[in-house]
């Protein structure tokens, strides 16, 4: 586990005591595919690092509609779990594990001690917040100004990268939650993509036939 701590950009700036404090209090947590965590101003656990696995961070309406904001991949740090460090962060988002996953948690109290002693730890959190802020702004830009056709094509290309395959295990529901749109919209567009020879649909599976044209949509 200590190897992972050493990948944190502020690790080298810490004193031996601070390193010791982090090392002894770090917690390893396992999650299963499909598990969901809520992050918001109420629940503050600490700083979570994704050691193994993949999760999507999404926003949900009271009616249960969803939109994916960004993804956490291996070695990514979840800044929202550290919302306690930032008083002004007042929104709530959810995290769904898309694979079985292992997370390392630096508990809130420990992080606060080290953070008060060392500016670099705060800098790190700040850069993370700014980075996620940028991701969300990009998502918002897409939602506002890009066609559903373009966004669906992009979502399919992202899934090709994540699954490292051209035959994707994906339901229309999953894609609708990804884009924050209705399943009917996704189904209609996928049919159109199939007619245009861009992909082939079969039960629970979408096979990409023409990545090039898809990326130009």
Q: Which is nearer to a copy of itself, 151 or 198 (CB)?
A: 151
- Residues near a copy of itself, by CB under 8 A: 59, 61-63, 65, 67, 86-91, 93, 119, 122-123, 125-134, 136-141, 143-145, 180
Least separation in angstroms between residue 92's CB and a copy of itself is 9
Q: Which is nearer to a copy of itself, 124 or 193 (CB)?
A: 124
Least separation in angstroms between residue 136's CB and a copy of itself is 6
What span, in angstroms and rounded, lies between the C-alpha atoms of 106 and 168? Answer: 35
List the one residue out of 136, 143, 151, 146 whose CA is nearest residue 186: 151
The angle, 0 to 180 degrees and rounded to 10, between the axes of the packed helices 148-163 and 172-179 is: 110
What span, in angstroms and rounded, lies between the C-alpha atoms of 24 and 5? Answer: 11
Q: Which is nearer to a copy of itself, 69 or 208 (CB)?
A: 69
Least separation in angstroms between residue 41's CB and a copy of itself is 9
Helix, strand, coil % in the chain, rounded to nearest 5: 50, 25, 25
Q: Which is nearer to a copy of itself, 3 or 61 (CB)?
A: 61
Least separation in angstroms between residue 62's CB and a copy of itself is 8
């Amino acid at each position: 586990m200590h190897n992972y701590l050493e990948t944190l950009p502020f690790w080298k700036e810490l004193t031996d005591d601070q390193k010791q404090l982090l090392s002894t209090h770090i917690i390893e947590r396992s999650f299963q595919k499909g598990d969901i965590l809520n992050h918001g101003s109420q629940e503050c656990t600490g700083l979570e690092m994704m050691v193994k696995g993949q999760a999507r961070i999404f926003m949900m309406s009271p009616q249960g509609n969803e939109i994916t904001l960004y993804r956490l991949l291996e070695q990514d740090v979840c800044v929202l779990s550290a919302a306690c460090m930032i008083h002004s962060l007042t929104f709530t988002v959810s995290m769904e594990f898309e694979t079985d996953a292992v997370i390392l948690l630096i508990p809130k109290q420990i992080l606060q001690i080290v953070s008060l002693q060392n500016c670099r730890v705060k800098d790190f959190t700040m850069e993370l917040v700014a980075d996620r802020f940028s991701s969300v702004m990009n998502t918002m830009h897409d939602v506002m100004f890009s066609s559903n056709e373009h966004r669906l094509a992009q979502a399919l290309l992202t899934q090709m990268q994540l699954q490292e395959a051209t035959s994707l295990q994906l339901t229309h529901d999953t894609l609708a939650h990804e884009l924050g749109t209705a399943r009917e919209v996704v189904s209609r567009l996928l049919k159109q993509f199939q007619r245009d020879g861009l992909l082939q649909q079969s039960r629970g599976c979408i096979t990409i036939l023409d990545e090039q044209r898809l990326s130009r949509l």
